[in-house]
Chains A and B, each alone.
Chain A
Amino acid sequence: MTEDATKNEPSPNQPKLNQIVSAIESHVGQDALIDHYINKLSKDVPTIVANPNTYYSIAKLLRYDEQLNFAYLSELHGTDFETHMEIYVHLHSFNMNQSVALKVKLDRAAPVIPSLVPLWPGANWPECEAYDLLGIDFREHPDLKRILLGDDWKGYPLRKDYQPYDVEV
């Protein structure tokens, strides 16, 4: 995907991505981001891939920085990419009138990541959903529970290696 961005002419969102990236690099650290690019497939949304260690600090910066001020969490979900787990967070800033996709790759064997609920209370249920269906553990989540499936459900259905527990159905 990074290749796509460089192949064609620069996206109109490139300056905004640069602004976000420079803000992160100056406030959180040079190596805070693993990658950043414009996702041409997704309406040119600036996409930044965070380090699991810096994920929360980056989110906090995006949320509270006066210029950036990504006050609205539009979407949060997880994906099992077999080699790793990924969290995809779609944020929107009314200040910049711009969305940003914040991604973080997790270790598939032990997917643990800080919860975003302290920053956006709206992340509460989506994180529960990711926990419920993918088994991602959100640390410091106020009430992490199996929100859609029952408490007694075995396994995490959206994992690619999920075997239905009740084989007869």
Chain B
Amino acid sequence: MIKDLLHSAPSLLNFGIYFGLAVLLLFVVLGFVTYGILSERKIMGFMQLRIGPNQIGGKWGLLQTVADVLKLLIKEDTIPKKADRPLYILAPVIAFAPAFMVLATLPFTDAFQFADIGVGLLYYVAISGISTIGIVTAGWASNNKYSLIGGMRAAAQMISYEIPLVMSLVGIVLLTGSLNLNDIVAAQEKVWFIFLQPIAFIIFMIASVAELNRVPFDLPEAESELVAGYHVEYSGFRWAFFMLSEYVYMFAMATLTTVLFLGGWNSIPFLDFIPQAIWFGLKFSAVFYILVWIRVTFPRLRADQLMEFGWKVLLPVALANIFLTAIIKEIVNLF
């Protein structure tokens, strides 16, 4: 359907359809973010001997996040006097828009996908890098030393971990022979790539946590050092944009992990009577749970150790993994 639209002549109707779809996706994503945050808080509560949200929206606090977002909406919008005003206003948008854009190429089931483009994987990696600019902008525009340090750390960290992240995926591309996410899922019909590319999976998980700025890689916003890092001066809905983009990325990253390593919507043998969407949901939830689990368990790395780990450990291992994959592939091809 999307393909037809893309090929049709531009018209007001087309624009309306696009707009409607985008709004629909936005609500789906916001719906996820709402309950993603709630479930994260619930899981954290469970692991930390707390109850978590339990007042608003019944005893599971089902409307807690909605209330939180509403609160943010009606909060006073403060802009520091000495902030770089245009940049300060622009930064949350730069950070949030790419988070939303990357969702377009992610396939959730074989029918539910917005744009099936040939270089879906590259598209994701390229677009998600733009968010860093938003974070650095925010750090700079706030005219606050803590946020500046946070912004610089974010830039350094994101660039450093983008590389192993992409490198770890080269193995998968080699095995599939395609950058298209649908092809990658199709290639996993028999064996998931987590079993064929275990090293890549580990690197990808670590690098993705770093990309998401989550514990143990939450240096840009390291609360105990930089107070809140790059968004220390932001409040109200501008701050909410940063938070939302963080969770949308979490959603996107969990989806990508599922698609690349856990076989997407493919079922495990003999259980294919269960709908694809449920399979996808289960795997996605597992990845999400692991991300939360990591957050609850680990302390934070130090900035220099973080860099060292990225360049001296992850990158060489990722490169070695590519060679290994290539060699094994050639050997298998020989027979």
Q: Do chains A and B touch in the complex (CB under 8 A)?
A: no
